[in-house]
Amino acid sequence: MGLDPAHPFPRILNKSLNFVVSLEGADAFGRSSGTAVVQVPRSLPRLIQLPKDVAGGPYDFVLLSSIVHAQVGDLFPGMQVLSCHQFRVTRNSDLWVDEEEVDDLLKAIKGELSSRNYGDAVRLEVAADCSDETAQFLLDKFHLGPSDLYRVNGPVNLHRLAAMHEMVDRAELKYPAFAPRYPKRFEQEPDPFQVIQQADVLLHHPYESFAPIVELVRLAAQDPDVLAIKQTLYRSGKDSPLVEALIQAARNGKEVAAVVELRARFDEAANIDLATKLQEAGAKVVYGVVGYKAHAKLLLIVRRENGRLKHYVHLGTGNYHAGTARAYTDFGLLTCDKDIGEDVHRLFLQLTGLGRVARLKKLRQSPFTLQRQLIALIDDEAENAKKGKPARIVAKMNALSEPRIIQALYRASQAGVSIDLVVRGICCLRPGVQRVSENIRVRSVIGRFLEHSRIFHFEAGGQKLVFLASADWMQRNFFSRVEVLFPLLDDRVKGRVIAEGLEAYLADNTQAWLLGPDGKYRRAKPGNQKPRTAQLELLERFAL
* Neighbouring-strand partners of residue 230: 257, 300
pTM of the model: 0.88
CA 418 → CA 45, 60, 383, 431, distances in Å?
51, 52, 13, 12
Residues 377 and 487 in one domain: yes
Q: Please say if 165 is a catalytic residue.
A: no
Q: How many domains does the chain have?
A: 3
Residues 356 and 381 in one domain: no
* Neighbouring-strand partners of residue 18: 39, 87
Residues 70 and 134 in one domain: yes
519 Cβ partners below 8 Å, 6+ apart? 430
Residues 53 and 30 in one domain: yes
Residues 50 and 142 in one domain: yes
Distance CA 370, CA 196 (A): 27
Residues 221 and 351 in one domain: yes
pLDDT, tens digit only, all 544 positions of the chain: 776 665 688 888 888 999 999 988 877 666 667 888 999 998 899 999 999 888 888 899 999 999 999 999 999 888 889 999 999 999 887 756 555 545 566 666 665 556 656 788 999 999 999 999 999 999 999 999 999 999 999 888 788 888 999 999 999 999 999 999 999 999 999 899 999 999 999 999 999 999 999 999 999 999 999 999 999 998 887 788 999 999 999 999 999 999 988 765 656 667 778 888 898 999 998 887 777 888 999 999 999 999 999 999 999 999 999 889 999 999 999 999 999 999 999 999 999 887 787 899 999 999 999 999 999 999 999 999 999 999 999 999 999 999 999 999 999 999 999 999 999 999 999 999 999 999 999 999 999 999 999 999 999 999 999 999 999 999 999 999 999 999 999 999 999 999 999 999 999 999 999 999 999 999 999 999 999 999 999 999 998 6
Active-site position among 295, 314, 345, 457: 295
Last residue of a domain, one of 332, 362, 392: 362
Domain span at residue 250 reads 184-362
Pairing of strands 481-487, 364-366: antiparallel
Last residue of a domain, one of 300, 332, 362: 362
Residues 50 and 85 in one domain: yes
- Cα 375 to its chain centre, rounded Å, is 25
Last residue of a domain, one of 345, 362, 379: 362
Residues 355 and 371 in one domain: no
CATH number for the domain spanning 310: value is 3.30.870.10
Q: Is residue 167 part of a domain?
A: yes
Residues 200 and 60 in one domain: no
DSSP helix/strand/coil, 364: strand
DSSP 8-state class, residue 182: P
Residues 288 and 313 in one domain: yes
Distance CA 508, CA 521 (A): 15
Residues 371 and 347 in one domain: no
Q: Is residue 5 part of a domain?
A: no
Q: Is residue 3 part of a domain?
A: no
Please provide the DSSP assignment of 321-337 as one string.
-TTGGGTEEEEEEEE--
Residues 331 and 398 in one domain: no
Q: Is residue 137 part of a domain?
A: yes
Q: Is the omega angle on the peptide bond into residue 206 within 30 degrees of 0, that is, cis? A: yes
